[in-house]
Amino acid sequence: DIQMTQSPSSLSASVGDRVTITCRSSQSISRYLHWYQHKAGKAPKLLIYAASSLQSGIPSRFSGGGSGTDFTLTISSLQPEDFATYYCQQSYSAPQTFGQGTKVEI
Amino acid sequence: QVQLQESGPGLVKPSETLSLTCSVSGGSISDFYWAWIRQPAGKGLECIGRVSTTGSTNYNPSLTSRVTMSINTSKNLFSLNLRSVTAADTAVYYCARESDSDWHALEYWGQGALVTVSS
């Protein structure tokens, strides 16, 4: 299985901060990397697909980058509704695997 | 807007079979891959597997001996059966739809169903 490693596991930030989360895969996955936002008790939400493509309806303050083994999710100006856990996921090979998550807290 | 809703027993006894159904509304179930993902309390997300409307399946190797997924296009729903469950299978179970692009991102998700394995 391809292992996905996110860092940091958690971070504290304030409204208006620029936040960057990194995700590294154990082997090259091209751009088969997606980012999700998850709030407790709710369905996870797709933010970014194919490493850098913004999902329809997602605010432009979210952006993604990278290819191969190293990827980033950036929130340019953190908003109150952005406090959540973020996961990366690879769909390059089965089984699809997720990172362990990054909790963004105040 | 596509909506997914998981349903099934919230409590399953050890060694029995966990059965969940995902009902799809707001769109056709045809021509997509449909997935099951779970999250044990305090842990991350784990892909259980996926099923297509052609009947093709891919299961997580760690679960493949115990998992069966199926799809019912006439009822617009798909199902998960997980046999011989133990306490380690206690988790929130999500169903999801992959996008129709080659990237296979999980575009739509259900709210999740908590399943507890306990006698």
Q: Give pLDDT tens digits for A68-85.
A: 999 999 999 999 999 999
* Sequential DSSP letters for A59-91: -TTEEEEEETTEEEEEESS--GGG-SEEEEEE-
| B113-117 vs B11-12, strand pairing mode | parallel
Q: Which residues in B lie closer than 8 A to residue A42 (C-beta atoms)?
A: 111
For chain B, say whether A64 makes contact (Cβ under 8 Å). no
Per-residue pLDDT for A41 more than 90?
no
Tokens read off for B13: 């006894």
Tokens read off for B8: 């099934």
> For chain B (length 119 residues), average pLDDT per consecutive 10?
95 98 94 94 92 91 95 94 97 95 92 96
Q: Say what the pLDDT of residue A106 is.
A: 80
Paired strand residues for A67: A70
Query: Which residue in this structure is represented by tokens 């970014």?
Result: A48
Q: Which residues in A lie closer than 8 A to residue B47 (C-beta atoms)?
A: 95-98
Q: Say what the pLDDT of residue A88 is.
A: 98
Q: Say what the pLDDT of residue A94 is.
A: 87
Q: Say what the pLDDT of residue A62 is.
A: 98
**To 10 degrees, the CA torsion angle through A83, B44, A47, B59?**
-160
Query: Which residue in this structure is represented by tokens 């997980």?
Result: B82
Count how many residues are written for chain A.
106
Q: Say what the pLDDT of residue B46 is.
A: 93
Summarize pLDDT for A7-40 with one digit per residue, the tens. Answer: 999 999 999 999 999 999 999 999 999 999 999 8
Cβ-defined contact of B109 to A43 (cutoff 8 Å)? yes
